[in-house]
Structure 1
């Protein structure tokens, strides 16, 4: 059984530890937990790890957020992974900072990474883990907020949610989408 885990973010040190790069951070945590490392490959930093008889191809696209679908489609095709066995990890302004939400489909909610994935895959029916980043920003400052770094007071919540996100990835692979949604969407 093979799974594609797609952590969304932007490459470059200026984006490290920003709200918009939480997908990269979750991908890193998952790979580190399972003893893997990332290597630069086609359209992405890629790692392959194994857990309980399952293989995970974990990517962090190098295409920048707005072209995430290009990397995802390339790796789905290359590794022959069906859309049901993919999980996209994405930041979500509409969810409070404490919230993680697993979905099997849905709108892009204005997120450019999801927009591109939907355009390239020609469907909105793909599993995703939405990582709430809150929306605590003044009017007109959304871009600065999303591309901003976590505050010291947010870090304990974020670290805990990253660990829970790793559990969600494992649950998704072991138990499937429905059971994972029932367990974690509380």
Structure 2
């Protein structure tokens, strides 16, 4: 069993924001796989079979800062080890359009990752970081992550969502090294 979590904030006002790229990627992949999300574990969950593996997709509905609660509930119920968890989230330290798959690490200032580490008790889980770039001088970072992508940024994000789906597929198939070699540039 594997769990892929997309981080974001619930509600229409956050739907197309930089902070919600985790939700956006899971929505895009679920649409391609013709999956429906249903409420469960303080989140919205979908399930599929990929490469003979049972795969859960989870979008916590607890708001970003409490995302770990939803993740903990699902992982405890299904007894999913941390090595089989992949969390998709935004990263201001990566330029817009870049993605990076990592096996573990610190929260790096991301509150959704901080919550996940606190709730599951380890930093040893996979992350797919999606670059959203840094705000211009004078922009409040909190306002920046909650802002929508500009018209000029949309093509880059569409490309990221396509590449991100391929990373998810490779990760599920235990081809993480291949995914990192292809996309961590």
Q: 1:53 is matched with which residue?
A: 52
State whether residues 102 and 127 of structure 1, in contact with CA within 8 Å, keep that contact through their aligned partners in structure 2. yes
In structure 2, the gaps of 5 or more residues are: none
Q: Secondary structure at the match of 2:125?
A: coil
1:127 corresponds to: 126
- How far apart are 1:50 and its partner, in Å? 1.8
1:34 is displaced (CA, Å) by 1.1
Deviation at 1:140, TM superposition (A): 4.9
Where in structure 1 do 4 or more consecutive aligned residues deviate above 3 Å? none
Q: How far apart, in 2, do the equivalents of 1:175 and 1:124 lie?
A: 19
Query: 1:56 deviation in Å?
Result: 1.3
Match for residue 94 of structure 1?
93
The aligned residue for residue 105 of structure 1 is 104
TM-score (norm 1): 0.95
Look up the match of 1:155.
Answer: 154
C-alpha separation between the residues in 2 aligned to 1:155 and 1:131? Answer: 14
Superposed displacement of residue 138, structure 1:
2.7
**What residue in structure 2 maps to residue 73 of structure 1?**
72
Output the CA distance in 2 between the equivalents of 1:109 and 1:95: 12
**What is aligned with 1:63?**
62
SS at match of 1:119: helix
Paired residues in the alignment total 185
User: 1 CA distance for matches of 2:76 and 2:179?
Assistant: 25
TM-score, normalization by structure 2: 0.95
- Which range is displaced more, 117-126 or 147-156? 117-126
Check whether the contact 1:31–1:49 (CA below 8 A) recurs between aligned residues: no
